[in-house]
Amino acid sequence: MAVVKSYSVLVDGVKIDVHVAEKEDFIRTYRIALPEISSATLALLDTVKEELLKETKIAPEEIFDPARILSLREEFRKKADMLVSRKIPGVSDRTKNMLAAFLLHEMLGLGKLEVLLADGDLEEVVVNSAKEPVWVYHKTYGWLKTNVVMESERQVQNYASIIARRAGRQITTLEPLLDAHLVTGDRANATLFPISTKGNTLTIRKFARKPWTIVDFIANKTLNEEAAAFLWLCIQYELNMITAGGTSSGKTSLMNSLMPFIQPNHRIITIEDTRELRLPDFLHWVPLTTRQANSEGKGSVEMLDLMVNALRMRPDRVVVGEIRRGDQAEVLFEAMHTGHSVYATLHADTVDQVLRRLTNPPISISQVMLEALHVVNVMYRDRRKGIRRLYQVAELVPTGESDEQIVLKSNVLYRCKPSGDIVAHDECVRVFDALKMHTGMTEKELVADLSEKIAVLGWLVAQNVSDMPDIGKVIAAYYADSGQVVKLAQAKGKPEKLW
């Protein structure tokens, strides 16, 4: 079978070879070269497991502490190395590392799935049942069938139970559905037979260990410097913004990439169902996440609860993972009208669809309330090419009043051409008027400000400053002394000189 791509994945110190091969039964395959372990060695490893369990004491509360789980893995690894060396004298360092990693994955991880979870090119790892191979979603090749097979339905249920316990949840025949998170932050969903009729399932959505940044997006042409600078200007001066798009279009990633544009002395409250947003550590940031009810139906914390509570925490900026219901939208837009700067995501494919979704059931926000929203971004995913683009950036412009109803129309400022290029579309009207009113700047000064921001962003791309903390430091330095940063950018100096 012809190999399309080969590469290696480092898993707890062990290098595992990966081969993506041509289609077999119409589906490309993903094969990992796992070393064979003899039955005699497996028997020895069983004795090592017993000794590890005796030597390592884990308090019940430690299971719920992600930091403790990570340190526990380190302790297990060191003790496993020592015990393997003692039980199997003369073993090579490579074999010792491999056996120690095997023990670690079996005792504290998810077995062979740990190899798949360590591959940065994979977005999803899916177990449909023990009767068929594990599937993965590759960033380049889409869905692939692997050579990893679960031993039994009991093993799949055991992995689901491990994930549930660490999240303070449970999954049983009475509660056969699970939505939880791994220690790494990856999202896990599980269902048990007979709810899933083929067998027990496990779906793990991986989140990038390194979040996408505005520099990454400019470099891969998701958007250009001009559109990014415009969004920076809007965020700097606290205009309200919604980022829309379809599933996996990159709307949350775009919103996250814009967060470093917030001034470091502003208090940010983020509200999410699933913890996805990651901001520079030095920002004044309080992340909040919802919680599902326990087995008795008690203890749930809904998105609406957190939104109401966040407004009592004196935020400068409120960031909401996704608007789904009318009561959530009502609180969100009330926050806009009371002077808070608000950002959120929404499922919609165009700016006009955003307007329709917000003003019709089940959300049904009046246009009077909607007037507080200044900018709408729409992300788009080209499934054929496997690329994501900023499809539209638009402002909402009041066009007049009919009786008591304000009529809002979208004015598209930037759009994506069929070729994939981001281009300016219509002239900015409302946003510039709002900025002139709030900042006292003239249109000429705003254009000059945009030019500075374009230069700084182009410099960051040229210098390959793509880590979120470093971008945050440059933006913070810009707010402290924009002249110094612009001067350094024009001189093509090293950003490290700023800190």
257 and 171 fall within a common domain: no
Kindly state the tokens that stand for 417: 């051409």
266 and 245 fall within a common domain: yes
Give the integer Cα–Cα distance in Å for 383 and 348: 16
Give the integer Cα–Cα distance in Å for 114 and 14: 12
123 and 255 fall within a common domain: no
Q: What are 395's strand-pairing partners?
A: 375, 411
185 and 304 fall within a common domain: no
With beta carbons less than 8 A apart as the criterion, state whether 241 and 343 touch: yes
Integer CA distances (angstroms), 47 to 51, 63, 80, 96, 336, in order = 6, 24, 11, 15, 62
143 and 237 fall within a common domain: no
106 and 240 fall within a common domain: no
What pLDDT is recorded for position 499? 78
With beta carbons less than 8 A apart as the criterion, state whether 412 and 426 touch: yes
Closest CA to 12 of 112, 91, 104: 104
Chain Cα centroid distance, residue 98: 31
Instruction: CATH number of the domain at 156, please.
Output: 3.30.450.380
Number of H helices, E strands in the chain: 16, 18
Q: What are 284's strand-pairing partners?
A: 267
Closest CA to 263 of 475, 451, 438, 437: 475
Secondary structure of residue 182 in the 3-state scheme:
coil
Give the integer Cα–Cα distance in Å for 51 and 45: 10
What pLDDT is recorded for position 340? 92
Q: Does an H or E element contain 445, and which?
A: helix 443-462
What pLDDT is recorded for position 90? 67
Instruction: CATH number of the domain at 423, please.
Output: 3.40.50.300
pTM attached to this predicted model: 0.83
Chain Cα centroid distance, residue 215: 16
What pLDDT is recorded for position 61? 58
113 and 258 fall within a common domain: no
With beta carbons less than 8 A apart as the criterion, state whether 317 and 344 touch: no
**Secondary structure letter of residue 351 according to DSSP:** H
With beta carbons less than 8 A apart as the criterion, state whether 215 and 465 touch: yes
With beta carbons less than 8 A apart as the criterion, state whether 380 and 373 touch: no
Cis peptide before 194 (omega within 30 of 0): yes
Cis peptide before 362 (omega within 30 of 0): yes
What pLDDT is recorded for position 404? 59
Secondary structure of residue 357 in the 3-state scheme:
helix
**Secondary structure letter of residue 35 according to DSSP:** P
How would you classify residue 303: left for phi > 0, otherwise alpha for psi between -120 and 50, otherwise beta?
alpha
Greatest Cα-to-Cα distance within the chain, rounded to the nearest angstrom: 88
Total Cβ atoms within 10 A of residue 292? 14
Total Cβ atoms within 10 A of residue 297? 7
223 and 192 fall within a common domain: no
What pLDDT is recorded for position 133? 96
Q: Which of 151, 176, 205 is the last residue of a domain?
A: 205
Give the integer Cα–Cα distance in Å for 426 and 483: 30
Q: What is the total count of domains within the chain? A: 2
Cα Rg, the chain, nearest whole Å: 26
What pLDDT is recorded for position 62? 59
Closest CA to 280 of 482, 66, 467: 467
What pLDDT is recorded for position 395? 97
430 and 493 fall within a common domain: yes
Q: Which of 205, 231, 250 is the last residue of a domain?
A: 205
Three-class secondary structure assignment of 227-286: HHHHHHHHHHCCCCEEEEECCCCCHHHHHHHHHHHCCCCCEEEEEECCCCCCCCCCCEEE
Q: Which of 177, 205, 233 is the last residue of a domain?
A: 205
**Strand 375-382 and strand 267-272: pairing?**
unpaired
Give the integer Cα–Cα distance in Å for 237 and 109: 46
With beta carbons less than 8 A apart as the criterion, state whether 490 and 454 touch: no
Q: What are 389's strand-pairing partners?
A: 380
With beta carbons less than 8 A apart as the criterion, state whether 413 and 432 touch: no
368 and 248 fall within a common domain: yes
197 and 290 fall within a common domain: no
What pLDDT is recorded for position 146? 96
Kindly state the tokens that stand for 348: 């919609």
With beta carbons less than 8 A apart as the criterion, state whether 192 and 312 touch: no
Give the integer Cα–Cα distance in Å for 431 and 236: 13
Give me the domain span that covers residue 173: 3-205
Instruction: Divide the 499 residues of the chain into consecutive groups of 10 and give the mean pLDDT of each group.
Output: 88 88 85 78 74 66 62 74 75 74 79 92 95 93 93 95 85 91 86 96 88 95 97 97 93 96 96 87 93 79 93 96 91 92 96 95 91 96 85 92 73 91 92 94 95 97 95 96 95 89
188 and 224 fall within a common domain: no
> Which segments within 425-478 are labelled E, that is strand?
none
